[in-house]
Structures are given as C-alpha cells and as structure tokens.
C-alpha cells in the first residue's frame, strides 16, 4: 500500500518527551537551565537519539544540538529549545524539539517522503539564562561576541566558562547554509489560553508580536505623611497611579483584541507607611503584531507624558528600555501548508492566531521562511511547574506538523 | 523695676541649642540615635547644663534626662526628646528640651516667677530606635517590660544591652508624681508647612491626630504578559490601581482640610516586565484629629472591600496593622494660656492647628493636662539633614513658651 503521508509513532513520541522530562524533573515540572550539568546530560541524550534516527548529530560550540539529515538538500529545519525557565514546565521548547526528531524519523519511514531532508535543532538558551536566543542567533550569523565575552547567569558564571566546563570551548558552531536550509518550522505550546477558550486544538501562527518596554519615573516631593496636608503634597505615588488610568484610556482606544499592555512592577520611594513618596517608578510593557500600532502606542505615551508635565508639579519621565522587538510575520506559503494539514487532520478545530510570546522562529525568520504551529496549554499556563497539554493533543499536534512538514519539504524540492 | 514675666536669654538659648547640635553633627543635620555613644555623651552634657541651672538632674534607668526643680510643687514639666532619626535635623525634639532648660532658668531669674517649679525632661527614644516613646511611657507608668526584654535597634542590639553599655542597668527610673507634676508643655518644630503657608509664627496645638494603618492585598492570577489577552486577565496590580481611585473618592467625601491619607508602598508580585502580577499589596495610612472621622474612614474601607469582592474576580483583603493611635486632645485651659501668651507677643501671627505627627505629649496627656506649641519648619521639612527654623522664630517661640509657662505655673499654684 502506497502512503502519501508519513505516520508518526505516538508511543515513541511520548516516550522521548518523557525521557527528556526526566532530565531536571522537579515535581511535575522541570528545572533545566541552559548549560547546567543536567542540561548538558539532556543534550548528549538528545544527540544520541538523533544519531539513532539516522541524523549526523552533535552539540555545537555554543551548546545547540543539531542533527543534520544525510539526505541532500533542500532541507526543512524543525526545532525549538530544550532549556527551561528557573521554574519550567516539561513541554515549553521540549515539545518542538521532540516533534522535530519524531518527524525526521516518520518521513524517513514513509515511502513518499524518505528522500526528503529534515534537519533537527535544539537551540541553546532561548530562555536567556545567559543570553536570549543565543543558539538561533549564532546559527543565522548574528553577532554574539559580546554575549560570549560577558554574559553571565544568575550565579555570576560567565557564558564562556560554562561552555568550557561543558567541554565545548573549541567546538565549531553550526551555521545556516542558505543553499541547503530553505525553511524553518517551530512547533510549540501556546503558553496562553486562547485555543482552550476557542475550543481549538491547533494554532497556525500569523505573526510573532513586537514588544516595547518603558520605565515611567515620577519625581515629586518626599514629605511627612502626617504633617503635609493633601492640598500641598507632590505625591509621586499618587501621580503614578493617576497616570496608569491615562495609559489605560489611550491604549484602550488604540488596541484591538490581541493588543496587550502590562504594568509589571511599581516602586515607591522610600516605601514606608509614614512618608509621602518623593519618587515612583513603574515598568510598562506592551505587545502587538502590528508595527504601526506599536508605533502609535509609543507616540501616545510620549504625548501623555508631555501633556502631564504641562499640567502637574510632579514631573514624569519616560525611559525606553532594552528589550524592544519588532513584530515578525510568518511566511505566508508555509502558513498555508500548516493550514491545509490542520484542515485535513483537525477540520474545524484549528485557527490562525498571533504568538504573544517570543520564539527562536523570530530570529530565523529574518533569514529564511519560517512558520510556527501551536498546541493548547491547559489553563493557559506556562513557565510554571504545572504547565501541561493533554496527551491526545500532543499527538494530534505532531500528526499535523508531520503532514505539514511533508508538504513543505516536498514543495522545497520542486 | 518689677517684672511680671520672665525674660529668656536668646544668646544662651541658641548657644545651648548649637552645643547640643554638635553631638552627632553630620553636615547641617544630626545623627544621634537613642542610646548610641554620642547620644549618651549629649545626655551627660544636658544633665550638666540642668545642674548648672539649679535643677536636680540625672539620667534615669531608661536614658531619660530629668531635671527636677528644687522648688516645691505644684510643678510644670517642660520637655521633648533629644534623640534623632537616622537622618535627623538639629531641631526636631532638641528645640523643646533646650526651651525647657532656658525657661527653667528664665523663671528662676524673674522676681515674679522665681518660686515657680519647672521640671525639665528629655524623654528617651521618642523616635523608636528601640521602642517609640519609651521615656514618656516609662515616666507615666505604662508597661515597658516587653520593650526592655526584647526591643532591638536596626543593628540587632537589645535595648537591655544598650542600657547596660551606657552604665544604666541598675539606675532607678523617674516616674510621674501626680501630686507634684500637674501639667506638661511640649514645644516642638511643626514638621509641616502649614505655619509657613499661613504666614504664622506660632502654632497652638488643638489635637494630636489619630492614625490607622492597613495593608490591602489583591489576589489575582499570575500569567504570561504576552500570551494572556486583556479580556481574560486577573491582574492583581491593575486591581490595586483601580482600588486606590475608590479610596480617594470615598475618603475625599469624608475628609476635611486636615484629613490626610497616604499610599506609601506598593508591591507587585513577581514584579517583572513580562508577567501579569498575580499578587499585589499596598500600604495605606490615614490620620485625623476626629475619632468619629477615623472610624467612618475605616468603615468606608471595609465597605469598599466588600463591594469590590462582590464585583471582581481579583479578590481584595483588608489587613489592619499595628500602629493605630487614637487622637489626643490638648488640655483646653493650657491651650488658653498658650493662646494668650501668643496674642501678647505675636499678635495676629499665631494660629490653632492639629499636630499631624506623633509626640511624647500624647502619652503624657493620658495622665496629666498637656499642651504643645509649634514653631515654623522652613519648607515644611523634617526628618532630614536640611531641617531648619529661622533664628528669630526660634527665639520668639521660646519667648511665647516662657510667657505661657509662667502663666501655667502661676495658675497651678492657685
């Protein structure tokens, strides 16, 4: 019987996911920080499983595990990251890596696709233990010399020393071969509650949203909270609270349903019951898929600060922070392949959606066509020990990703 | 020539104030924490100056300097505190102590008042380095055993050990003799900007305001700030900010011009750009001279929390904190003496006003009639190195206080 499409092995898929989970397992979650001993152990195991699958696999000079198909190109790269947050879940990143491994095996086992080249990657340090997206940035040729020289983890360990301890100091780094590697697919858990709320099982990502981060500082007059009448106070904390309402008004008028903004931190100085705050700082982040809307929100913020300073004695200052990221659109043709695979295997149960979180795909999409597929996160929870996805949804996601990968790899050859 | 009223010596007054300032002088300010070596040195000097003035003076078993007049009672006690905040000004507390010393001298030098008894005190630890109002609480017989056993300063030194180091372990404590000590006068800097704003030079205190302190905690759902749409967030920080507007509305309706309320601290958890806060806490203090208004504000707060919890998914919790103080009314007859002295020496330049700050007078007023006189604070600043009062205002304040003391001491004898 001729099979048009590869078939994944659900038992093998789940077994590999659960074995990867065992590296750093902590209760239901995982603690597997980039380049920690347990992360290196996991990478060695992963390179071994890739080798078992017929790939030429190795850990490269920054820690990325790369399994190169022995088939000639053009190749589809499938991957994600296997490092975790300090209190990580078992699927964030790991899911996309093991999907890649399983899809490489499944295509190799299917008559129609066995000549297709699928390279598999686990990019190092997506989570930024040392330097966010280090592996994917190194792969595409972005400058990472500053990170290699001076990035440190929370314990103060230099990235260079961590690589030396892992025996990677003189190991070559894998780099993008544009002639061979023509497309990138990153499967991932959603990390939000939108699929669940919409009763959908597959998300086809349209855009990875852009991010802006600002500090807003308010300079008033520190005073005794008992002896200073309300009428003559210049309370920096009260100004901060009033300003947040203006932000909510202005952003609410500009937003669509996917726009998000967050005040994640507030500090009042000196921070005691009996003192009217003389200084106050808030941390504001906003995200949107539309670069024009991000720009409009930024302009609105600048205008609010100007207007405020024209009307109030407590002075507001806007400080742009590092961490700005532009929205990245996923490749339309690749999205189409994902959509057709989802339509075939989960008709009526998939949707287009933006990614509110950052991913290695946004780095790689600057250089080759890239796409992402989401599976649901139970309760929308991620970066937490209790992060989870139903097993049948994990399997379905891999079936859709494999079908799409076969379509994409086939198209690359035409 | 017969003099009806005592005359203070401005040079002697200012010299003694400046000598006291030299103990712990730090730039224009003073660091003289309770029972520190420099504070003990200052207390020894002060006891010496009281002895020079003809008082029976000693440092008592908790560190209070008490100078007892050799005249038979009834006696007026005049005093304040000579300890400072960690970044203290030169006048806060010190002014009232040196006023007491100068007034005792001036009354003794005036024919009409030389038989009047004025006892002078510098109560230990008004500022709470170990335990607030320790000296005045000990004097009136309040229980201070817990403080003596377990109070520590910021460096972890036990109060008992600090007293032993100062050689005071077996020294008796001075206590209120109700038959002798019939009234208390505490002159003090205003510590606010009301006299200055009203172009007045003397404040006659009507009431020391009461204080309430609460924590308001908000319990929401911690979430990823990129993947969680605004519509399904339970943002504890946003709830906190919205709630503050309700507090301002409710308190604004209950307040008079002297009511104050302060949000002095806000903590969002976990406090990062990328996480929707799951928990948020604010510290709220309010003060008023009217116990009924304090009660109404407290009731309004409870009602706001109930109403909130009926309408929102983020839950609010109200936690009453230690540090509640009831308003304390100053004795009407003593206020009258201060007002008549001010009318004579600063006609049209004095006003009645509440004290927004706490003072030893509120402890002593529970046991004998008490009153307070304020002099202006430049820019309303206190608890800061730059705290100051114009020299002519210091002198005028002492003249008014001496005239009032003569009136009070005379009245006590009738």
CATH of the domain at B60: 3.40.630.10
B34 and B99 co-located in one domain: yes
CA distance B69 to B58: 12
Q: Of A320, A355, A374, which one is at a domain's C-terminal end?
A: A320
User: Given this model, what pLDDT does residue A39 score?
Assistant: 98
CA distance A94 to A49: 14
Question: What would the mean pLDDT of A373-378 be, rounded to a whole number?
Answer: 97
User: Given this model, what pLDDT does residue A1 score?
Assistant: 40
- CB-nearest partner of B260 from A192, A226, A266: A226
Task: Decide: B124 and B35 in contact? Cβ < 8 Å.
Answer: yes
B204 and B214 co-located in one domain: no
Task: Decide: A265 and B273 in contact? Cβ < 8 Å.
Answer: yes
Binary contact (A241, B238; C-beta < 8 A): no
Strands A279-288 and A75-80: unpaired
Pick among A192, A213, A216, A227 to test the B interface (most B CBs inside 10 A): A227
Task: Decide: B209 and A226 in contact? Cβ < 8 Å.
Answer: yes
Binary contact (A224, B257; C-beta < 8 A): no
**Dihedral angle over CA of B229, B233, B235, B241, nearest 10:** 80
Which residue on chain A is closest to B243 by alpha carbon? Answer: A241
Contacts of B231 in chain A (CB under 8 A): 257
CA distance A290 to A303: 20
CA distance A68 to A101: 11
Distance from CA of A257 to the nearest CA of B (A): 7
- Give a yes or no: residue B3 inside a domain: no
- Give a yes or no: residue B32 inside a domain: yes
- Give a yes or no: residue A308 inside a domain: yes
- Give a yes or no: residue A286 inside a domain: yes
Is A190 annotated to bind ligand? no
CA distances in angstroms from A52 to A43, A68, A96, A211, B71, listed in the order given? 14, 12, 18, 40, 104
Pick among A226, A245, A260, A379 to test the B interface (most B CBs inside 10 A): A226
Residue B253 burial (10 A CB sphere; 0-12, 13-18, 19+): exposed
Distance from CA of A274 to the nearest CA of B (A): 7
A257-293 pLDDT, tens digit each: 999 999 999 999 989 899 999 999 999 999 999 999 9
Contacts of A354 in chain B (CB under 8 A): none
CA distances in angstroms from A42 to A103, B78, B153, listed in the order given? 20, 76, 51
Task: Decide: A191 and A382 in contact? Cβ < 8 Å.
Answer: yes
Beta-carbon contacts of B197 under 8 Å, excluding residues fewer than 6 positions away, are: A232
Binary contact (B382, A275; C-beta < 8 A): no
Question: What would the mean pLDDT of A231-246 be, rounded to a whole number?
Answer: 96
B285 and B358 co-located in one domain: no
User: Given this model, what pLDDT does residue B312 score?
Assistant: 97
A31 and A121 co-located in one domain: yes
- Judge if the upstream peptide bond of residue A74 is cis by omega within 30 degrees of 0: yes
- Give a yes or no: residue A5 inside a domain: no
Binary contact (A380, B231; C-beta < 8 A): no
Q: Is residue A2 pLDDT above 60, yes or no?
A: no
Helix H or strand E segment including B316: strand B315-320
B190 and B222 co-located in one domain: no
Q: Of A275, A305, A320, which one is at a domain's C-terminal end?
A: A320
User: Given this model, what pLDDT does residue A289 score?
Assistant: 96
DSSP-assigned beta bridge partners for residue A76: A118, A183
Question: What would the mean pLDDT of A25-38 be, rounded to a whole number?
Answer: 96
- CB-nearest partner of B266 from A192, A232, A237: A237
Task: Decide: A176 and A142 in contact? Cβ < 8 Å.
Answer: no
CA distance A329 to A209: 8
Contacts of A231 in chain B (CB under 8 A): 257
Binary contact (A265, B264; C-beta < 8 A): no
**Dihedral angle over CA of B127, B133, B134, B138, nearest 10:** 160
- Give a yes or no: residue A279 inside a domain: yes
Binary contact (B262, A276; C-beta < 8 A): yes
DSSP-assigned beta bridge partners for residue B80: B122
Print the domain residue range for B286: 210-320
Nearest to B263 by CA among A57, A233, A127: A233
Give the angle subtended at the CA of B348 by the CAs of B342 and B349, to the nearest 5°.
65
Pick among A264, A279, A293 to test the B interface (most B CBs inside 10 A): A264
Question: What would the mean pLDDT of A94-105 be, rounded to a whole number?
Answer: 98
A165 and A32 co-located in one domain: yes
Q: Of B301, B320, B339, which one is at a domain's C-terminal end?
A: B320
The CATH number of residue A265's host domain is 3.30.70.360
B215 and B200 co-located in one domain: no
| Cβ pairs A/B, distance under 8 A | 180
Distance from CA of B85 to the nearest CA of A (A): 13
| ipTM of the modeled complex | 0.89
DSSP type of residue B413: T
CA distance A229 to A223: 10
CA distance B289 to B329: 8
- CB-nearest partner of A224 from B191, B226, B275: B191
Q: At what angle do helices B391-412 and B94-109 cross, to 10 degrees?
A: 60
Which residue on chain B is closest to A215 by alpha carbon? Answer: B273
pLDDT mean across residues, chain A:
96
List the structure tokens of B109. Answer: 């030098």
Q: How many C-beta atoms surround the C-beta of residue B354 within 10 A? A: 24
Residue B178 burial (10 A CB sphere; 0-12, 13-18, 19+): exposed
CA distance A87 to B302: 37
Binary contact (B228, A257; C-beta < 8 A): no
Distance from CA of B382 to the nearest CA of A (A): 8
A120: three-class secondary structure by DSSP: strand
Domain tally, chain B = 2
Distance from CA of B413 to the nearest CA of A (A): 35
A256 and A131 co-located in one domain: no
HSE, side-chain direction, 13 A CA sphere, residue B61: 14
Binary contact (A356, B277; C-beta < 8 A): no
A344-371 pLDDT, tens digit each: 999 999 999 999 999 999 999 999 999 9
Nearest to B92 by CA among B174, B32, B16: B32
pLDDT in tens, chain B (414 residues): 445 899 999 999 999 999 999 999 999 999 999 999 999 999 999 999 999 999 999 999 999 999 999 999 899 999 999 999 998 999 999 999 999 999 999 999 999 999 999 999 999 999 999 999 999 999 999 999 999 999 999 999 999 999 999 999 999 999 999 999 999 999 999 999 999 999 999 999 999 999 999 999 999 998 899 999 999 899 999 999 999 999 999 999 999 999 999 999 999 999 989 899 999 999 999 999 999 999 999 999 999 999 999 999 999 999 999 878 999 999 999 999 999 999 999 999 999 999 999 999 999 999 999 999 999 999 998 888 999 999 999 999 999 999 999 999 999 998
Contacts of A272 in chain B (CB under 8 A): 264-265, 283
Residue A70 Cα to chain centre, angstroms: 29
CA distance A353 to A341: 16
B292 and B408 co-located in one domain: no
């Amino acid at each position: 019987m001729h099979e048009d499409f590869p078939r994944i092995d659900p038992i093998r898929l789940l077994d590999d996911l659960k074995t990867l989970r065992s590296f750093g397992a902590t209760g239901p979650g995982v603690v597997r920080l980039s380049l920690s001993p347990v992360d290196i152990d996991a990478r060695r195991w992963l390179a071994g499983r890739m080798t078992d699958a017929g790939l030429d696999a190795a850990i490269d000079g920054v820690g990325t595990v790369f399994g190169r198909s022995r088939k000639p190109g053009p190749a589809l790269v499938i991957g994600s990251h296997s490092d975790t947050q300090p209190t990580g879940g078992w699927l964030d990143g790991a899911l996309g890596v093991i999907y890649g491994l399983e899809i490489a095996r499944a295509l190799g086992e299917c008559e129609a696709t066995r000549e297709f080249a699928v390279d598999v990657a686990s990019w190092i340090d997506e989570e930024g233990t040392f330097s966010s997206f280090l592996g994917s940035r190194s792969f595409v040729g972005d400058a990472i010399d500053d990170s290699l020289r001076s990035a440190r983890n929370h314990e103060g360990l230099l990235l260079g020393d961590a690589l030396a301890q892992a025996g990677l100091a003189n190991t070559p780094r894998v780099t993008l071969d544009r002639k061979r590697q023509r497309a990138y697919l990153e499967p991932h858990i959603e990390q939000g509650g939108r699929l669940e709320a919409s009763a959908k099982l597959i998300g086809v990502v349209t855009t990875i949203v852009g991010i802006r981060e600002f500090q807003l500082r308010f300079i008033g007059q520190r005073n005794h909270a008992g002896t200073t009448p309300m009428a003559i106070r210049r309370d920096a904390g009260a100004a901060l609270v009033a300003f947040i309402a203006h932000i909510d008004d202005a952003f609410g008028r500009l937003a669509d349903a996917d726009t998000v903004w967050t005040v994640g931190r507030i500090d009042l100085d000196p921070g005691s019951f009996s003192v009217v705050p003389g200084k106050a700082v808030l941390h504001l982040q906003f995200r949107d898929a539309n670069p024009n809307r991000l720009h409009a929100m930024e302009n609105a913020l600048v205008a609010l600060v100007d207007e405020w300073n024209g009307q109030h004695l407590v002075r507001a200052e806007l400080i742009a922070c590092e961490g700005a990221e532009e929205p990245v659109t996923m490749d339309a043709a690749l999205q189409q392949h994902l959509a057709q695979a989802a339509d075939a295997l989960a008709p009526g149960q998939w949707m287009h959606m933006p990614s509110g979180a950052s991913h290695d795909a946004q780095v790689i999409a600057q250089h080759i066509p890239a796409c992402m597929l989401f599976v649901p996160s139970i309760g929308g929870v991620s970066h937490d020990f209790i992060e989870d996805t139903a097993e049948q949804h994990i399997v379905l996601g891999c079936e859709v990703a494999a079908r799409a990968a076969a379509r994409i790899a086939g198209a690359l050859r035409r």
